[in-house]
Amino acid sequence: MIRILIFAALIFIVLIQLHDLKFAPFISEEKITSVIDAMALKINQDYNGKNPVFLAVLNGAFMVASEIIKRFDGDCEVAFVKLGSYQGTSTTGNVETLVGLNISLQNRHVVVIEDIVDTGITLEAIYRILEKEHAADYKIATLFFKPEAYQKKFTVNYIGMEIPNDFIVGYGLDYNGLGRNLTQVYKLKKENMTNLVLFGPPGAGKGTQANFLKDKYKLVHISTGDVFRYNIKNETSLGLHAKSFMDQGKLVPDNVTIEMLGAEVDKNKGANGFIFDGFPRTVAQAEALAVLLEEKNTNVSAMIALEVDDEVLVQRLLERGKTSGRKDDADEAIIRNRIHVYYEETAILKQFYLKEDKYYGVDGVGSISEITERISAVIDSL
Ligand code: IMP
Ligand code: MG
């Protein structure tokens, strides 16, 4: 017990805050030192007696460059370029040369030193500079490499270590200018939210369950249908925009819908999480939702799909039709078609979330409280 408390206290203490974001320890100084040792060893072997130019890419690479250069035996020279592409925690896609080269690299053996290669857009700009300079040859050394983010084909010759596609700071790397001085690397801490994508065929009791779950877990229930109706009724600019498509009998484009959802998410800052109901319906929408949540520093925790046998659904809806008077609940052929459409839509999304290990099918036959308990068991396991 005491040990657990001490452990919890340690975790609590080591989180750091830079501007508005929190970061957790990720790569220790010892680990960084050992990967730099290994890189420097190879560079020493490859450039022994060649008087290379180490070209450090500022700002981020100043720390790793210093370490690699210190470990180089023999003659070498040092040069710098300063390129910029990042704003906050994401790339802008454009690389600007902020400080240019101040020596000629013609006929030189150049070792570019980078702190991190992410999309590779900066690297592409460096390759262009090196081509123009007519260097004898050049190789790229980077302390960190994000294979999942990398979009280019250029070879990265020396890689300290590969890391997942997370935003990191420390050891030269910054978040909006801060964190470069940290001697170990920290990773952006995701908001600890429970974001559920809730699915269920017509008649599965999705609405009822969403109501219980939102109270039990203090989640905000976002029903796309309600959000549309609200925006249109209140004539918000997004609502009017959406309506202009609906009036022409067209589907509202995904970007309009996602903007409305984004506005709902923003209205509920500090929420424990969200239940998304009625969205996404397509893979494109699922991807858009991922981007939206990523921007809010969180992600989809799970897709929960209520599973109910077709015959049970048909019986339930026919029962409901008798009392509710809803026309679409009275005709068996219409009911079966709605169920069919549901499975066509969800099949693709099931695959999408299965791939991310986020799909949870829940048996939707039983009493309301039994089903709530089954869903709760899933949420508690996340
Ligand atoms: P790329 O052009 O996408 O490869 O990004 C390279 C530049 O983006 C780096 O030199 C960094 O300045 C910045 N960058 C990329 N990923 C991170 C990160 O996780 N933390 C801090 N800066 C990063
Ligand atoms: Mg850099």
Could you tell me if the CB of 176 is within 6 A of ligand 1?
A: no
Q: What is the pLDDT of residues 84-133, one digit of tens each?
A: 766 677 776 677 777 788 899 999 999 999 999 999 999 999 999 999 99
Answer yes or no: is the C-beta of 120 below 6 A from any ligand 1 atom: yes
pLDDT tens, 37-92?
A: 999 999 999 999 999 999 999 999 999 999 999 999 999 999 999 987 666 777 76
Confidence (pLDDT) at 70: 98
**Where is pLDDT greater, at 61 or 317?**
61
pLDDT tens digits along 334-362: 899 989 989 988 889 999 999 999 999 99
Q: Which of 22, 187, 243, 281 is catalytic?
A: 281
How remote is the CA of residue 378 from the centroid of ligand 2, in Å?
A: 41
Which of these ranges, 12-26, 113-127, 263-277, has the smallest mean pLDDT?
Answer: 12-26
Pocket lining: 117 vs ligand 1, CB cutoff 6 Å: yes
CA of 35 to the centre of ligand 1 (A): 19
Ligand 2 centre distance from Cα of residue 83 (Å): 7
The answer to whether 281 is a known catalytic residue is yes
Cα 365 from Cα 310, distance rounded (Å): 11
Q: Which atom of ligand 1 is nearest to the CA of 174?
A: 21
Task: Return mean pLDDT, the chain.
Answer: 91
**Ligand 1: which atom is nearest the Cα of residue 188?**
19
Q: Is the pLDDT of residue 211 over 80?
A: yes
Phi first, then psi: what are they for 106, rounded to 5°?
-55, 130
- 128 carries an active-site annotation: no
- Ligand 2 (ion): which residues have CB within 5 A? 57, 60
Task: Quote the pLDDT of residue 185.
Answer: 98
pLDDT for the residue numbered 322: 83
Nearest CA to ligand 1 atom 8: 86
pLDDT of residue 288: 93
Q: Which residues pair with 222 in a beta bridge?
A: 276
Residue among 58, 86, 124 to mutate when testing ligand 1 (max atoms within 8 A of CB): 86
Catalytic residue status for 326: yes
For residue 9, pLDDT over 70 is answered with no
Asked if residues 133 and 149 have their Cβ atoms less than 8 Å apart, the reply is no
Which pLDDT value is given to residue 289?
Answer: 95
Give the pLDDT score at 80: 95
Q: φ, ψ for residue 301 (rounded to 5)?
A: -85, -40
- The residue whose CA is least distant from atom 19 of ligand 1 is 167
Could you say which ligand is closest to the alpha carbon of residue 118?
A: 1
- How confident is the model at residue 3, as a pLDDT? 59
Kindly give the residue spans of alpha helices, DSSP state H, lying in the chain: 2-14, 29-47, 62-70, 121-133, 206-217, 224-233, 237-247, 254-267, 283-295, 310-324, 332-355, 368-381
Q: Which of 108, 146, 206, 316 is catalytic?
A: 206
**Parallel, antiparallel or unpaired: strands 53-58 and 77-87:** parallel
Q: Is the dihedral of CA 63, 64, 65, 69 positive or negative?
A: positive
